Amino acid sequence: MSVQEFYHDFRQGFMADAEANSSFQLESFVELVAQDLVEGNVMDGFEFCHFRAKGLRVDGYWLDEEGVLSLIIADFECRDELASLTKTDVNTIFKRVKNFFESSRNRSLYKNLDETTPEYGLSRQIADRKQHIRRVDFFLLSERTLSDKFKTYDEPDDTIVPMTYHIWDMSRLFRQQSSKGHKEPLDLDLIELFGTGVSCLPAHLGEDTFPSYLVVMPGEILSKLYAKHGARLLEQNVRTFLQARGNVNKGIRNTITNEPDMFFAYNNGITATAQSVNTELGSHGLQITRVKDLQIVNGGQTTASLFHTYNNNPKEVSLEKVFVQMKLSIIESEESETIVPLISEYANTQNKVSASDFFSNHPFHIRIEGFSRRKYVPAKEGEQRETKWFYERTRGQFADEQSKLKPSEKRRFQAEHPRNQMFTKTDLAKFENVWDEHPKWVCLGAQKNFTQFAKRIGKDWILSQDFFNEFFYQRLIARGIIFRRAEKLVSVQPWYDGGFRAQIVANALAMISEVCKRNKVAIDYMRIWNNQKVYPSLLEVITIATKMVSDDITHPPEGISNIGEWCKKEGCWTRLQSIIPKLESNISKVFWDETISIKDQAAQVKDAKETQKIDDGINAQKQVVEIPATTWATVLSAGIKGKFLSSKEANLLRIAQQIPMKIPSEKQCNLLIAILLKAEKEGVVLQ
């Protein structure tokens, strides 16, 4: 596929999204690109905020916990053909978004804006928190492609706040989405950045092992890398998912402040991976001079604490004598999806939270992907073709599935998997959390909401894998249909002025969920699944609830200037709960008649769990009988020698060696699969 072909498909995608959601094409374009940046951890989150005045413009933003403000500006005119983006264009566009920031920070732009609008909240937030904003990242999202004559953007260095400039044109987005879902890797030239490499020792033996190095990492370099790249260094780290970054460990802080020369001795060090490194001999031995795609998979708290301790008190704290030991493994990109989560899991065994490897290869995601690939949904009213919802378990799957197809096959794929029926891990978390959890999590942004979802589902998976069955999948899709229909419904309401749709929808659906719980009933999800649309009485309730939420959140308590930030607070949901009786009094009898009782829903769940248990048993038996007897013999021998097998497990392996003369039961097969996983963790190489 060429960039031109990619642009054509991409253009059709955001135009279809705009039509499906009754939104402007600009909004769909910005949200589509921003979502890709969030999924790739380039940004932590995103809020659409379109404002344009003479010499000023902004189209979106995000302010993270560490004081990094991301401001987005779009270069978009819905062009029919792919055009060239020149350096003059880039300078003009960046100047407008920079003017918005400076006018908000220095000249109180918000005083001239409507208090109920998103741009007022953003501008006011910049003014109120200007002392806490430590860096501004400007993102230019363009539907054009950079001119071949464009080399680099000359970033001004005379600003009060450090600023960085990022251009995401069609070529860059194409490269990102063509890399089979892998994010754009960081390419760190240490000599260019810091004037020196870092000392290392090779730690790999044999031809078949991954190259590894023991590295002495200066604290100053690690802190500066984190200051510039933040979460992009930690994106595979379990603690990133658990939101532990940003918390300064007191022990680490005290060592940095009082005994910096002992940091290397006291600290456990960090574990990291990279796609490749360049090394050369220096005056003090071998040193690493360049690292491609550095990822810290254990030691995120150490890294963040180094930065925060210095950044909070730069006059009294020095990192000159601080050094950190680092184990660096070189993992090629093709193997990173499998190997990196395992390194992360084993490096974080002290972490009590069992969502340890809740990445795209977790069994939960694999099961949902399996349902989405084989489960046809009923044809919509007036249509003959049955379709499927496509779960994008890893980033870029939807595009990658089509890239290998011939034109006729691609048309067939797109007919069977409509783009508006594609959903990602963060979509899934959003659909579920508004009904089962606090809407605050959804309002906190895609990554933090996914974090909360991961912790909950990780625990639930251990308690009962059977719960995640066909009914769970059908309910999930029904919830997705409700969520997206609610977004579209809000967009066409006469009272909607273009702001805070995400917050309105999340809180309105949470209110409907709560009012159902109080009346011991549930939404008829199977009716929505069977018809692939929301039934009229539920639409009526959504219309009422969204209006109530909009009226409430746009009049926050005194002293709250940013409505988006208010929706992230516990107090917002607490106040909304107080108007649930008013919502209940406005709900028609038809709606209550079309709900199902909690008892009936429990019966649906129970039946689905029993079916899933049978399916799991059949699949386990099928998997076990296909494994050769030599593999079971290898595990038994290694287990006895390594003393990691119980007598019961050893006896099960002896039974497995008799296949096909003797077939283990479904329960025994599940245990045998668990033994195989146990053996792999003990380092047994299986054929």
Taking 90 as the threshold, does the pLDDT of residue 541 lie above it? Answer: yes
Q: Would the pTM count as exceeding 0.95?
A: no
Handedness of CA 534, 540, 541, 542 (dihedral sign): positive
CB 507 within 8 A of CB 553: yes
Taking 90 as the threshold, does the pLDDT of residue 476 lie above it? Answer: yes
- C-alpha radius of gyration, the chain, whole number: 27
Tens digits of residue pLDDT in 247-264: 456 778 888 888 888 899
pLDDT band of 350, cuts 50, 70, 90: very low
Taking 70 as the threshold, does the pLDDT of residue 244 lie above it? Answer: no
Q: What are phi and psi of 465, to 5 degrees?
A: -70, -25
Tens digits of residue pLDDT in 303-331: 888 888 888 788 888 898 999 999 998 88
Tens digits of residue pLDDT in 565-592: 899 988 999 999 999 999 999 999 999 9
CB 440 within 8 A of CB 569: yes
Sequence letter at residue 309: T
Taking 50 as the threshold, does the pLDDT of residue 163 lie above it? Answer: yes
Q: Which long-range contacts (CB under 8 A, 24 or more apart) does 601-610 make?
A: 601/522, 604/471, 604/526, 605/467, 605/471, 607/471, 608/469, 608/470, 608/471, 608/472, 609/464, 609/466, 609/467, 609/469, 610/466
Q: What pLDDT, on a 0 to 100 scale, did the predictor assign at position 648?
A: 86
Sequence letter at residue 445: G
Residue written as tokens 């974080």?
348
Beta strands in 533-656 (DSSP E): 596-597
pLDDT band of 532, cuts 50, 70, 90: very high
* Residue in 42, 132, 36, 147 with CA at minimum distance from that of residue 87: 147
Q: How far apart are CA 388 and CA 376, in angstroms?
A: 5
DSSP letter at 685 equals P
Q: How far apart are CA 42 and CA 575, in angstroms?
A: 34
Q: Could you give the residue ranges of the DSSP H alpha helices within 417-535?
A: 425-436, 439-443, 446-463, 470-491, 501-518, 525-531
Domain boundaries, the chain: 3-178, 187-347, 426-594, 614-681
For 524: left if phi > 0, alpha if psi spans -120 to 50, otherwise beta; the answer is beta
Q: What pLDDT, on a 0 to 100 scale, did the predictor assign at position 155?
A: 67
Taking 90 as the threshold, does the pLDDT of residue 102 lie above it? Answer: yes
List, as one string, the DSSP characters of 197-225.
-EEEEE---SSSSPPEEEEEEEHHHHHHH
Q: Could you give the residue ranges of the DSSP H alpha helices within 332-396?
A: 333-347, 363-374
* Residue in 68, 61, 447, 71 with CA at minimum distance from that of residue 227: 68
* Residue in 527, 519, 512 with CA at minimum distance from that of residue 481: 527
Q: What pLDDT, on a 0 to 100 scale, did the predictor assign at position 206?
A: 63
**Is residue 597 classed as helix, strand or coil in its secondary structure?**
strand
Q: How far apart are CA 47 and CA 140, in angstroms?
A: 15
Q: What are phi and psi of 630, to 5 degrees?
A: -65, -35
Q: How far apart are CA 89 and CA 653, in angstroms?
A: 68
Q: What are phi and psi of 582, to 5 degrees?
A: -65, -40
Handedness of CA 6, 11, 17, 23 (dihedral sign): positive
Please state, in angstroms and as integers, the Cα–Cα distance from residue 470 to each residue in 374, 391, 430, 434, 609, following that order.
Answer: 11, 14, 19, 20, 9
CA 351 to chain centre: 21
CB 591 within 8 A of CB 538: yes
Least confident piece of the model among 12-16, 181-185, 280-284, 568-572: 181-185
Q: State both tokens at 586.
A: 């406005």
**Is the backbone peptide bond immediately before 118 cis, with ω within 30 degrees of 0?**
no
Q: What pLDDT, on a 0 to 100 scale, did the predictor assign at position 293?
A: 85
Cα-based angle 449, 453, 456 (whole degrees, multiple of 5): 145
Taking 70 as the threshold, does the pLDDT of residue 246 lie above it? Answer: no
Interacting residues of 43 by C-beta distance below 8 A, sequence separation 6+: 34, 37, 62, 70, 137, 139
Polymer length of the chain: 687
Q: How far apart are CA 545 and CA 515, in angstroms?
A: 11
Taking 80 as the threshold, does the pLDDT of residue 483 lie above it? Answer: yes
